[in-house]
Amino acid sequence: MQIASPALDEREALSLAELFRALGDASRVRILAALLTGEHNVGELAAQAAVSESAVSHHLRGLRLMRLVRADKRGRAVYYALADEHVRVLLQQGLDHVRHG
């Protein structure tokens, strides 16, 4: 089934390009993939993504700006999660494409 898509205006095209640029780093993708399983703090994400806590924090800052992740502060701890179901579907579809494409 083919779905017709409307032409993109300049703002939409730039926003979509920025989204794919955000997904263009293997460390960020591993962080996002770890969040597919639920909320995690920086230490947990660093362990799962095999990236330093400093690097995870840096990547999370950008991912938050892109509205791909959200943060929930609980006392002194901050837990991160995927921003919404659209992000989950995008990641899952990309992973399915890579694994079965």
The parent domain of residue 67 ranges over 24-100
Ranges of residues in the chain whose predicted pLDDT is under 50: none
- Is the distance from CB of 79 to CB of 41 less than 8 angstroms? yes
Q: Is residue 44 in a domain? A: yes
The pLDDT, as a whole number, for residue 7 is 87
Query: Domain with 30 in it: what CATH number?
Result: 1.10.10.10
Q: Is residue 39 in a domain? A: yes
- Is the distance from CB of 22 to CB of 68 less than 8 angstroms? yes
Q: Is residue 14 in a domain? A: no
pTM of the model: 0.89
Give the three-state DSSP class for 78.
strand
Number of domains in the chain: 1
